[in-house]
Amino acid sequence: MQFYSRGKLMLSSEYVVLGGAKALAVPTQVGQFMEVEHFPEDGVLHWSAVDHTGFCWFIACFDLTDLSLISTTYPAGSNRLVRLLEYIKKNSDVLDSEDSIHITTLLEFDRNWGLGSSSTLVANLAKWSGVDPIELLHAGFNGSGYDVAVGMENAPVVYHLKNRKPFWETVDWAPVFSDRLFFVYLGQKQNSEKEVNAFNVDALSKADIDFFDNITDDILSCHELPEFETLLTKHEESLAKILGRQTVKQRLFPQYKGAIKSLGAWGGDFILATGTEADREFFVHEGYALVISWDDMINTTEKVNGAVNGNV
């Protein structure tokens, strides 16, 4: 059996999604495969993880009876994986086997890019086992769960939490001005879980949530690049006040004439910028060589199956 989930980028309501604001997130062209095979062997779960270069960076073996660790090349990763597997074993029968189970994951993107190596893994495990994907996520990680929702749908989603419960809907959304959008990699991967833990959700007001709800709605209905740039700038400036930080444009690119927006945990992953083909050279000259067009990064062309897929 083979499963596949796309990576993600959050375009609106980073951080404030934890307080209930609506977030827009889109799937990337690249994701993660997971293959599950059964063999009449020794009752062991054999796990191998292969990165985008073809290198097998993680190998572990677990006893299927109690998921005790037999061997591993990466103890810290094994501990996290065990927590996910324990949740699956408790809530599904896919690990109830006297045979051996061989699971191989194949990541299509660099793990340092922050596109969702963990969330695509969780989504694939949920598709295989049939367990609640958000509850599975929380068995091993912190976070709102928007990234797993994107992986489950492989489509753009609007995601929000209500009374701590996740709701999302798929949206048929692709900006008509995508040829003027591109992504720049800053090269300093952020720890999203650490950022989530440090963010003070209780400091958010209803006005804050309403503001970012409206921004998300406006982005979805926007058809002109100047309006989109205004929305990105308003989003950046408002979130900067909440976080008590400078925007990435103020900090790194104050002279750039187009709009720039941080994505996900503020700091060092990808940013979204607006501009022409010539404008992309600005970032290259500034020392940021990895610049990717919207169409090369984002997949919004797959057919959206159904409108509402929330409250899983």
Q: Average pLDDT for residues 88-94, to the nearest whole number?
A: 97
Confidence class for position 312, pLDDT limits 50, 70, 90: very low
Sign of CA dihedral 21, 305, 139, 71: negative
* Residue count of the chain: 312
- What is the identity of the amino acid at 226? P
C-alpha angle 281-11-300 in degrees, rounded to nearest 5? 85
Residues 6+ apart with CB under 8 A from 44: 61, 62, 63, 64, 70, 100, 101
288 CB contacts (<8 Å, ≥6 apart)? 184, 185, 186, 187
pLDDT band at 302 (very low <50, low <70, confident <90, very high): low
**Rounded average pLDDT over 8-13:** 96
d(CA 23, CA 21): 6
Whole-number average pLDDT of the chain: 92
pLDDT value of position 51: 97
Strand 157-162 and strand 100-107: pairing? unpaired
pLDDT digits (tens, 9 = 90+) for 15-48: 999 999 999 999 999 999 999 999 997 899 999 9
Per-residue pLDDT reduced to its tens digit, 152-205: 999 999 999 998 899 999 999 999 999 999 999 998 765 666 777 778 888 899
> Angle, to 10 degrees, between the axis of helix 133-140 and the axis of helix 117-129?
130
268 pLDDT band (50/70/90 cuts)?
low
**SS3 sequence, 194-222?**
HHHHHCCHHHCCHHHHHHHHHHHHHHHHC
Q: What is the pLDDT of residue 307?
A: 34
**217-235 tens-digit pLDDT:** 999 999 999 999 999 999 9
Note the pTM of the prediction, 2 decimals. 0.92
DSSP conformation class of 111: G
Cα gap 152→121, rounded to integer Å: 10
Q: Across the strands, what pairs with 78?
A: none
Gap between the Cα atoms of 33 and 280, Å rounded: 31
Distance CA 152, CA 145 (A): 11
The residue written with tokens 């998921």 in the block is: 67
Q: Which domains does the chain have, with CATH numbers?
A: 2-170 (3.30.230.10), 178-297 (3.30.70.890)
